[in-house]
Amino acid sequence: MLSIWNFDGKIAFEDILSATEKFDEKYCIGIGGYGTVFRVELEGGVTFAVKLLHSMEEFSDEGTFHAEIEVLTKIRPRCIVKLYGFCSHSQCKFLVYDLIERGSLSSILHEQELAKELDWTSRIAIVTDVVQALSYLHHDCNDPIVHRDIKSSNILLNQDYKAYVSDFGMARKLKHGCSSWSTIFAGTCDYIAPASVWLCWKL
């Protein structure tokens, strides 16, 4: 199944393969636990970020793929990366996002010269953007959404240092009135909320 909004699906699929020379590594702009991200520039100069999931031999949990689609197709972006479409095929799965030019907050903080550009005013603005995104997910959606993997590598910055929350592969929707706690660990160990660790330890 292929769905790319505002584009003819077949043409968009072929254009993405052509623009990346079938996902050649020279177009790679990032590698994560579930996939590799490529910069894609289509005819007319339109650019996207495409996350190609690891091969089925390496990655068997399709839950993260479908979770991200379910969440991002049902929310109104507010400091949240925009999903344009996806491809779901037995041999190839990828997600098409808005390209956030500066990349992740983590990559910037680990480059001394780039990190110097982030003064305290900019850092406070980034935190504010992330808090607004989480507030929207927790309080303004019909069913609250818990991201479960907030960390600097999942915060993307545009040219003006506006922050966008990305990577919703571990996100879960909650029914109103249900507890947000889970006895199953999710996320990156160093970033898991202490309260979640404490609760799971007690159980």
Q: List the domains of the chain with CATH numbers.
A: 2-98 (3.30.200.20), 105-202 (1.10.510.10)
pLDDT bin (cut points 50, 70, 90) of residue 73 is: confident
Task: State the amino acid at position 126 in one-letter form.
Answer: I
- Backbone torsions φ then ψ of 146, nearest 5 degrees: -105, 120
Helix (H) / strand (E) element for 110: namely: none
Q: Which of the residues are catalytic?
A: 149
Mean pLDDT of 109-116: 94
Rounded to an integer, the average pLDDT of 53-79 is: 73
| Nearest CA-CA partner of 163 in 172, 171, 154 | 154
Reference 107, options 156, 140, 51; nearest CA is 156
Q: What contacts 167, CB < 8 A, 6 or more positions away?
A: 32, 68, 149, 154
- 3-state secondary structure labels for all residues of 38-89: EEEECCCCCEEEEEEECCCCCCCCCHHHHHHHHHHCCCCCCCECCEEEEEEE
The CA dihedral of 98, 101, 106, 110, to the nearest 10 degrees, is 160
Is 74's pLDDT higher than 90? no
Tokens 């990346």 sit on residue? 20
pTM of the model as a whole: 0.81
Q: What is the pLDDT of residues 143-178, one digit of tens each?
A: 889 888 899 999 999 999 999 999 888 888 886 665
Give the pLDDT of residue 10.
Answer: 59
For residue 162, say whether it is annotated as part of any ligand binding site.
no
Tokens found for residue 150: 């907030």
The pLDDT tens digits for 18-60 are 999 999 999 999 887 778 999 999 888 889 999 998 765 544 5
Which one-letter DSSP state was computed for residue 47? E
Q: What share of the chain is helix, strand, coil (3-state, %, to 5)?
A: 35, 25, 40
